[in-house]
């Protein structure tokens, strides 16, 4: 049965590749889509007894993805649309194979339509979706480092100019694992920048000065003289911006002999594990996110705090750059279509409510979203580059190395407006 399913799914993929290459006029786009789907297909091969539960989960994903794709104003082959297409296609293949495994056949002609996000799937029950995480790729290997999120990625040299299809696999690994680690990298600031630029526009930090010769790179330094560390509370990067960072790449140049780890938490799981009642209550809430939140720091500005406690971090004035923004508390990931809790240290209060009214629920959600079972703890080594998706994670840099030095190079890539 597994062999038959595999053969059928391969034939489906070939047909979809031809269709997408013809419609989009680009074999690269077809390759990227099929790569993404193939990764999911490997999971199928490993699960010959694909059951109703998986088909139902994928149908829910397909529903959400197709809804977003259909309501998207973009008609071009933009990245989010591509992501939805990949999901719909994967979902359709899974559904088809599931149907085959139950002795029914489906219409092969429906698959290319599904690939364009036009599939109509019945709205099935709302079950938590801990999406499957890939373990097989063509150009890289991933090894999970925790149950909730995080994977080591092997087979990639970030000093090289990576081909598009390798980058597509890194994207798939990021979307599946949320936080990916590349160990033993030897890269210059320029090479880190080259890699970051492949993901989009660089997001300059409005409050922090970049390196003199590479303003896009923020040098994070903590020495034994510094009492505090940069990023030492749960947060997601630049949440105070109207278009917060999609991803962050942090490269370790010098790390303490022990300590200085960074924790990450999976915000899909944080959302999915809430009760239906809580999900309904928070569905339309918006948060006001503030970049320089003196209220939370005894009235002190960033410049005052950093000057006293993190002397090596260079603060700057944001000028006209917007540093307070309103965002949905529950956001939809533009590439996976999954919902995630979007909360962190920059949240001041709910839009339209006072601080006091907002505080109890914000406190609960912050505590809930960082439950130990949603987290991973990254142990750094010199040469580790960690790339995380800020759209579905929070992170926390642990300040537990008072007598040692830690030096990192950080680049953030601009994201889109959360919805
Ligand atoms: C950050 O919040 O971007 C810094 C994380 C770290 O230094 O581990």
Residues 29-81 have pLDDT tens digits of 666 555 555 544 443 333 333 444 454 444 444 434 443 443 333 333 333 44
pTM above 0.75, yes or no: no
Looking at the domain assignment, is residue 131 inside a domain? no
Q: Is the Cβ–Cβ distance between 326 and 351 less than 8 Å? A: yes
Catalytic residues, by residue number, are 235, 237, 395, 410
**CA of residue 234 to ligand 1 center, whole Å:** 10
Q: Is the Cβ–Cβ distance between 398 and 260 less than 8 Å? A: yes
Helix (H) / strand (E) containing 151: strand 151-154
3-12, 200-209, 232-241, 310-319: which has the highest mean pLDDT? 232-241
Pick the closest to residue 250 from 399, 405, 395 (CA basis): 395
Region 246-256: what's the mean pLDDT?
98
Percent of the chain with pLDDT over 70: 65
Q: Determine which residue's CA is closest to atom 8 belonging to ligand 1.
A: 397
Residues paired with 151 in a beta bridge: 144, 180
Report phi then psi at 133, rounded to 5.
-115, 130
Distance CA 134, CA 10 (A): 18
The reply to whether 25 and 161 lie within a common domain is no
Provide the mean pLDDT of the chain: 79
pLDDT, one tens digit per residue, over 213-233 is 999 999 999 999 998 999 999
Confidence label for 350 from pLDDT (cuts 50, 70 and 90): very high
- Pocket lining: 231 vs ligand 1, CB cutoff 6 Å: yes
Instruction: Quote the DSSP letter at residue 295.
Output: G
What number does the ligand 1 atom closest to the CA of 262 have?
Answer: 8
Looking at the domain assignment, is residue 27 inside a domain? yes
Looking at the domain assignment, is residue 278 inside a domain? yes
Confidence label for 327 from pLDDT (cuts 50, 70 and 90): very high
The reply to whether 175 and 86 lie within a common domain is no
Q: Is the Cβ–Cβ distance between 178 and 335 less than 8 Å? A: no
Helix (H) / strand (E) containing 250: strand 245-254
Helix axes 27-46, 2-24, angle to 10 degrees: 160
DSSP symbols for 117-136: T-------------------
Distance CA 313, CA 219 (A): 8
Q: Is the pLDDT of residue 293 over 90?
A: no
Angle at 79 between CA 77 and CA 82, to 5 degrees: 65
The reply to whether 15 and 89 lie within a common domain is yes
pLDDT of residue 24: 65
- Pocket lining: 220 vs ligand 1, CB cutoff 6 Å: yes
Specify burial of residue 412 (Cβ count, 10 A radius: 0-12, 13-18, 19+): buried
Q: Determine which residue's CA is closest to atom 1 belonging to ligand 1.
A: 231
pLDDT of residue 122: 25
What number does the ligand 1 atom closest to the CA of 218 have?
Answer: 3
- Pocket lining: 208 vs ligand 1, CB cutoff 6 Å: no
Q: Is the Cβ–Cβ distance between 129 and 60 less than 8 Å? A: yes
pLDDT, one tens digit per residue, over 159-182 is 999 999 999 999 999 999 999 999
pLDDT of residue 120: 25
Residue 70 lies in domain: 2-113
Quick check: helix, strand or coil at residue 35? helix
| CA distances in angstroms from 381 to 138, 227, 250, listed in the order given | 26, 22, 12
Domain with 154 in it: what CATH number? 3.60.130.10
The reply to whether 102 and 248 lie within a common domain is no
Instruction: Quote the DSSP letter at residue 202.
Output: B
Domain count for the chain, please give it.
Answer: 2
Looking at the domain assignment, is residue 289 inside a domain? yes
Looking at the domain assignment, is residue 132 inside a domain? no
Q: Identify the residue whose tokens are 């944080």.
A: 270
What number does the ligand 1 atom closest to the CA of 248 have?
Answer: 3
pLDDT, one tens digit per residue, over 352-379 is 999 999 999 999 999 999 999 999 999 9
If one residue of 218, 249, 250, 384 were mutated to test the ligand 1 pocket, choosing by the most ligand atoms within 8 A of its CB, it would be 250
The reply to whether 174 and 43 lie within a common domain is no
Q: Determine which residue's CA is closest to atom 6 belonging to ligand 1.
A: 397
Distance CA 82, CA 88 (A): 10
If one residue of 226, 244, 252, 408 were mutated to test the ligand 1 pocket, choosing by the most ligand atoms within 8 A of its CB, it would be 408
Looking at the domain assignment, is residue 121 inside a domain? no
DSSP symbols for 276-311: HHHHHHHTT-EEEEESS-GGGGTT--HHHHHHHH-T
pLDDT of residue 320: 86
């Amino acid at each position: 049965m597994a062999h038959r399913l595999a053969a059928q799914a391969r034939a489906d993929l070939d047909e979809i590749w031809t269709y997408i290459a013809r419609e989009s006029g680009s074999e690269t786009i077809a390759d990227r889509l099929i790569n993404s789907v193939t990764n999911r297909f490997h999971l199928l091969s490993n699960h010959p007894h694909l059951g109703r539960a998986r088909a139902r989960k994928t149908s829910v994903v397909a529903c959400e993805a197709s809804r977003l794709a259909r309501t998207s104003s973009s008609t071009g082959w933009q990245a989010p649309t591509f992501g939805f297409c990949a999901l719909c296609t994967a979902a359709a293949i899974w559904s088809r194979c599931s149907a085959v495994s139950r002795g029914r056949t489906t219409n092969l002609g429906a698959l290319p339509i599904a690939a364009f996000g036009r599939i109509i799937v019945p709205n099935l029950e709302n079950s938590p979706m801990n999406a499957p995480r890939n373990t097989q790729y063509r150009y890289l290997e991933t090894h999970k480092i925790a149950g909730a999120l995080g994977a080591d990625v092997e087979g990639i040299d970030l000093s090289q100019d990576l081909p598009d299809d390798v980058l597509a696999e890194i994207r798939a690994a990021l979307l599946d694992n949320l936080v990916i680690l590349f160990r033993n990298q030897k890269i210059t600031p320029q090479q880190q920048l080259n890699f970051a630029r492949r993901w989009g526009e660089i997001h300059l930090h409005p409050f922090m000065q970049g390196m003199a010769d590479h303003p896009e790179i923020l040098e994070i330094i903590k020495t034994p003289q510094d009492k505090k560390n940069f990023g030492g509370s749960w947060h997601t990067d630049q949440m105070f911006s109207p278009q917060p960072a999609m991803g962050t790449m942090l490269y370790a140049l010098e790390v303490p002999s022990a300590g200085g780890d960074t924790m990450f938490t999976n915000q899909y799981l944080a959302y999915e594990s809430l009760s239906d009642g809580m999900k309904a209550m928070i569905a339309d809430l918006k948060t006001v996110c503030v970049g320089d939140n003196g209220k939370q720091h005894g009235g002190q500005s960033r410049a005052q705090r950093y000057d006293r406690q993190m002397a090596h971090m260079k603060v700057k004035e944001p000028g006209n750059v917007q540093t307070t923004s309103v965002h949905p508390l529950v956001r939809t990931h533009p590439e996976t279509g999954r919902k995630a809790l979007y909360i962190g240290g920059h949240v001041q209060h709910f839009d339209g409510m006072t601080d006091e009214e907002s505080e109890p629920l914000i406190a609960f959600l912050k505590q809930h979203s960082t439950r130990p079972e949603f987290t991973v703890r990254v142990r750094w080594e010199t040469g580790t580059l960690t790339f995380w998706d800020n759209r579905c994670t929070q992170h926390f840099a642990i300040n537990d190395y008072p007598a040692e030095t830690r030096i990192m190079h950080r680049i953030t890539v601009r994201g889109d407006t959360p919805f």
